[in-house]
Structure 1
Amino acid sequence: MRSFEFCLPTKGTTVPNGSDWLHEIKYDGYRLRLERDGDRVRLITRGGYNWSSRYPWIVEAARKIRQKHFVLDGEAVVLGVDGVSDCNALHSRKHDHEVQFCAFDILAEGGDDLRTLPLSLRKTNLERLLAQRPEGVFVNPFERGELGPDLFRAACNMGLEGLVSKRRDRPYQAGRSRYWVKVKNRSHPAMDRGDMF
């Protein structure tokens, strides 16, 4: 399988509000790449470690997907009953069996490298791949266009970590991207941790 490097957002102070942007909730979790190549499933961290033995529910869910070859970008999260991610529960390692994969991008499918496609088409492919909704893996919902600032205020009011806004017309690029902008809720505990996750 080809090597895939993570696209990383730049930090912003205001949410972009143009029609070319998509906006996603920023979950408080660990960034991972979910790779399936036949029967082999790997969960790769930003540091290059394979955490597939750590999160069995994600691996089991990935094996239930009909397509046997794909690479997804997302986050490992523990969700509370309110749907808000709990980083303390994730970090404690006491809930590894409850950890789910929140998928927000697809980099490859069925032997095709999709990174050169615009984000809007990659999102369509991701939703189609996960249409059967295997428990343990879910698609991160997003909003289109000029709702960004209102969505950010709502996320802050709900106690969420913030938003990541992405240009819908851009390919997936390795390294830090100015077309992915992360704006954090300044009152969220993640502000004290920096950019660990």
Structure 2
Amino acid sequence: MSKVPEGRRSSARFLARMLPGAVAAPAAALVTPCLAVAKRAPPKGRGWVHEILFEGARLQVEVEKGRVALRDASGEVATKTFARIARAAASLPVNRAVIDGIAVVQRPGGASDRALLDAELAAGHGERIVLFAFDLLHLDGFDIRAAPLAERKRVLAALLAEAALPAIAFSADAEGDGRDFRSEVEAMGLAGMVSKRADAPYASGASGDWVRVRVSPKPRRA
């Protein structure tokens, strides 16, 4: 294993260590993922950010001095299964990082489909698989799980923008009323949405701070 030279490391590490709740600590070997609670309707009011619900395989990406381990939702090692993502993660400009995301294959319109992902894996290809990263738990010696979600995502966005890796994309979010975002998701023909409290820390296990809502896609008008 080799460290990334100081001059090549992401400047996002300086943002991470300044976050409220950031603690100097080694990266945890395995973090139990935060799970969204299923609801019929999205939350109302302020204080939430909303993301697209992707259909795929949940992955935790662990980077340690160029060495990468991918783990699925049950904690099983999946590095070889998602080799394209692992190769991309190895080139991140960091010494240590833990990223939470989901591996997907998208249709031309942007919708993801677990069946497409399974078919891609079964065929032994994998070049269409992309990790949509939606959370950052650790960066270069600082555990940032206690920091507000919005701040963790700000650092993650900065890191991925610097890295510019086709196989790892940032899962963008939108503020505002969840009902408006739901209407947009329906119009786009997507599976659903995930709403998250902007000020919430990362909590392992089922958490009401993350709310998952499935939708019935509306047919596009000609």
TM-score for the superposition, normalised by structure 1? 0.89
- Counterpart residue identity of residue 142, structure 1: D
2:165 aligned to which of 100, 112, 134: 134
1:156 aligned to which of 161, 164, 186: 186
1:32 aligned partner: 59
- Counterpart residue identity of residue 90, structure 1: L
How far does residue 16 in structure 1 lie from its aligned partner after superposition?
1.0
The 2-side partners of 1:74 and 1:109 are apart by 15
The 2-side partners of 1:140 and 1:153 are apart by 19
The 2-side partners of 1:58 and 1:17 are apart by 35
- Counterpart residue identity of residue 9, structure 1: A
Secondary structure class of the residue paired with 2:90: helix
The 1-side partners of 2:217 and 2:152 are apart by 32
1:195 aligned partner: none
2:14 aligned partner: none
The 2-side partners of 1:181 and 1:96 are apart by 30
For the Cα contact (< 8 Å) 2:66–2:91, is it kept in 1? no
1:193 aligned partner: none
Q: Deviations over 1:161-188 (max 9, x none)?
A: 1000000011000110011000012469
Identity, % of aligned positions = 34
For the Cα contact (< 8 Å) 1:55–1:97, is it kept in 2? no
The 1-side partners of 2:62 and 2:44 are apart by 33
Map 1:157-176 onto structure 2 (within 5 A). 157-176=187-206
Tell which structure's C-alpha radius of gyration is larger: 2
Q: Deviations over 1:119-153 (max 9, x none)?
A: 1110111111111221100100100122x212212
For the Cα contact (< 8 Å) 1:57–1:98, is it kept in 2? no
RMSD value, Cα: 1.5
How far does residue 23 in structure 1 lie from its aligned partner after superposition?
0.2
**Consecutive unaligned residues in structure 2, runs of 5 or more:** 1-26
Q: Deviations over 1:25-58 (max 9, x none)?
A: 0011111111111121111111111111112221
